[in-house]
Amino acid sequence: MYNPTMSSSKETVSLLDSGGKNLELLFVTDVMGLKSLHYGYWDQIHEITLGNVKKAQERYTETLVDMIPSSVKDVLDVGCGIGDNAEAIAKNGCKVTAISPDANHKKYFDEFQDPNITYVRTTLENFQPENFQTDQKFDLMLFSESQTYFDPEISFKKSQTLLNSNGYILLSDMFTKRKDSHSRIDFTEEDYLAHAQKYGFKVIESVDITKHILPTIALVDSLYSAYLNPVIKVANDYLRNTAPIKYFIVKLFFKPQINNLKKIKEHFDRRFDPGFFENEVTYKRLLLQKAS
C-alpha cells in the first residue's frame, strides 16, 4: 500500500521514524495485524466491516495473480510490502525477487522460508541484480500500489535492463484524473501510457477496479473521523488549556515538526475522503508487454 520510502526522487510527507520504518505501515502491520498493505478488493457479497478487510485483501491478491500470464516464471515485485503478493505468486509456481526499502518488511519474508522468494532491501533505482548474487532477468515486473511514489520514467527505464524480451509490467495502482488535482499522485493514466509507448510497451489488458476499492476508503474514513481525529483534537486542547506555557514552548521550538504534523493531517484528511477519492482518482490494473 502506501510507501513514501519507495524513492527519494519524489518529495512526500515524511512518515518515517529514525530507523527507516514507515510509521503508517508499522501501524497497519504491527497494531492492526493485517497481512497486506493494499486497499483490498470488495465484492457485493461481503459486508463492509473492519473484520472483512482481510478477506477483501485476499481477494485483491487472488485477482491480481490471475492477471499474470502463464508463461511468466520469474517475477520482480517492486515495493513488495510484507509479501502477501509475493507469497501467492510463488505458490503459483514462480520465483519472486521482492524489493522494498522499508526496514520493517524483512521479518515477514523471513517467516515464509520459501526458497522461491528472495527479499532485497533496496529502492528500484538502486537495485542491481549483480549486487545481490544474481544476474537474472525477469519475465514480469509487478507494481502493486508502489508506482505512485516515483516517476514512471524510472520504472520503464529500469525495465530495459531488468526484463527479458517480450517481458511484462503488471500495474495495480491509482492515477489522478486531473494534473491539477490535490491528490498525492503526480500523473494521469495518459501520462503513464505515454511512457509505456516511449519504451515500446503495449497494453494487453486494462481493468478499472475503482468501485472495488472505494469501500475501504469509506471504512477508513469512518474510523478516522470517529476515533483518530477526535483524539488528536483532545490531546491538542488538553495541552493548550492545562499547560499553556509548555504549549507555547513546544510551538516555538518545534515549529518544523508541528508543521510536518499539520501536513500529515492534511494528507490523511484528503486521502480518507471517499468523495475526493472518487472524484479525483481512478484505480486501474494494467498488463503491459514489451514489444520484441
Instruction: Please give the Cα distance from 275 to 167 (Å, whole number).
Output: 37
Query: In this predicted model, what pLDDT tens digit does every residue of 149-208 receive, in sequence order?
Result: 889 999 999 999 999 999 999 999 999 988 776 556 788 999 999 999 999 999 999 999
Instruction: Please give the Cα distance from 278 to 103 (Å, whole number).
Output: 32
Is the separation of the CB atoms in 212 and 43 below 8 Å? Answer: yes
From 8-22, 23-37, 53-67, the region with the lowest mean pLDDT: 8-22
Residue 105 pLDDT level (bands cut at 50, 70, 90) = confident
φ and ψ at 83, to 5 degrees? Answer: 95, 10
If you average pLDDT over residues 130-147, what whole number do you get? 83
Instruction: Please give the Cα distance from 86 to 69 (Å, whole number).
Output: 15
Q: What is the pLDDT of residue 256?
A: 56
Residue 10 pLDDT level (bands cut at 50, 70, 90) = very low
With CA atoms as reference, report the closest residue to 118 among 138, 100, 95: 95
1 vs 273, residue with greater confidence = 273
Is the separation of the CB atoms in 64 and 56 below 8 Å? Answer: no
- The residue length of the chain stands at 292
φ and ψ at 259, to 5 degrees? Answer: -60, -35
Q: Which amino acid type is present at position 92?
A: N
39 vs 32, residue with greater confidence = 39
- pTM beyond 0.85: the answer is no
* Percent of the chain residues topping a pLDDT of 90: 40
| Burial status of residue 256 (CB atoms within 10 A of its CB: 0-12, 13-18, 19 or more) | exposed
Q: What is the pLDDT of residue 46?
A: 75
234 vs 81, residue with greater confidence = 81
